[in-house]
C-alpha cells in the first residue's frame, strides 16, 4: 500500500490518537495530521493538500457538513471518508450528495477495516 498524506478531523483527541496509530500500523510511511478543531483544519486545508480526509459529522462549532461546505467554497475537493458514530439514514443519504465523499464508515475504525479502507480511493 502506498504512503498517503492523511488528515484526521474529529473533536475527540482519543479517537484521533487511536485512528492515527492504526493507520501508522498499516503503513508507517503515512503522514498523518490530526485536528480536533475543524475550523483550524479547514483553514489549513489548501496548505496541507491531503490525499484523504477522515471526517467526523457531529462536532461542536463546525460540524462535518459545514466543513465540507467550507471545502467546496474553497474549491477543494479532496477525497473524504466520513468516519462517524452517526447511524442516521439521513446522514448516509446526504453523504451521497457530495462527490468527494468516498465512504461512510461507522466508528470505531477497526483493524479489520484497514485492508479495504482505501479501495477505490
Count Cα atoms within 13 angstroms, Cβ side, for 106: 5
Helix (H) or strand (E) holding 26: helix 13-26
Q: pLDDT (tens digit, 9 = 90+) per residue, 24-52?
A: 999 999 999 999 999 999 999 999 999 99
Residue 41 falls within a domain, yes or no?
no
- Whether the predicted model's global pTM rises above the 0.75 cut: yes
Residue 40 falls within a domain, yes or no?
no
Residue 61 falls within a domain, yes or no?
yes
Distance, CA of 74 to CA of 85 (rounded, Å):
27
Residue 96 falls within a domain, yes or no?
yes
Domain coverage including residue 10: 5-34+47-116
Residue 11 falls within a domain, yes or no?
yes
Residue 80 falls within a domain, yes or no?
yes
Who's near 31: CB < 8 A, 6+ residues apart? Answer: 3, 4, 5, 6
Distance, CA of 63 to CA of 96 (rounded, Å):
17
CATH number of the domain to which 78 belongs: 3.40.50.2300
Into how many domains does the chain fold? Answer: 1
Q: pLDDT (tens digit, 9 = 90+) per residue, 48-74?
A: 999 999 999 999 999 999 999 999 999
Q: What pLDDT shows up at residue 49?
A: 96
Residue 12 falls within a domain, yes or no?
yes
Residue 68 falls within a domain, yes or no?
yes
Distance, CA of 103 to CA of 118 (rounded, Å):
9
Which CB contacts under 8 angstroms, 24+ apart, belong to 103-107?
105/81, 107/15, 107/56, 107/83
Picking from 21, 47, 45, the residue whose alpha carbon sits closest to that of residue 32 is: 21
Amino acid at each position: 500500500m502506498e504512503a498517503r498524506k492523511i488528515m484526521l478531523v474529529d473533536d475527540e483527541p482519543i479517537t484521533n490518537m487511536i485512528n492515527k496509530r492504526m493507520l501508522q500500523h498499516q503503513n508507517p510511511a503515512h503522514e498523518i495530521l490530526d485536528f480536533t478543531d475543524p475550523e483550524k483544519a479547514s483553514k489549513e486545508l489548501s496548505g496541507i493538500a491531503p490525499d484523504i480526509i477522515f471526517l467526523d459529522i457531529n462536532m461542536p462549532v463546525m460540524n462535518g457538513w459545514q466543513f465540507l461546505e467550507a471545502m467546496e467554497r474553497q474549491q477543494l475537493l479532496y477525497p473524504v471518508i466520513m468516519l462517524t458514530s452517526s447511524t442516521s439514514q439521513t446522514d448516509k443519504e446526504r453523504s451521497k450528495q457530495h462527490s468527494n465523499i468516498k465512504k461512510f464508515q461507522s466508528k470505531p475504525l477497526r483493524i479489520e477495516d484497514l485492508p479495504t479502507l482505501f479501495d477505490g480511493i
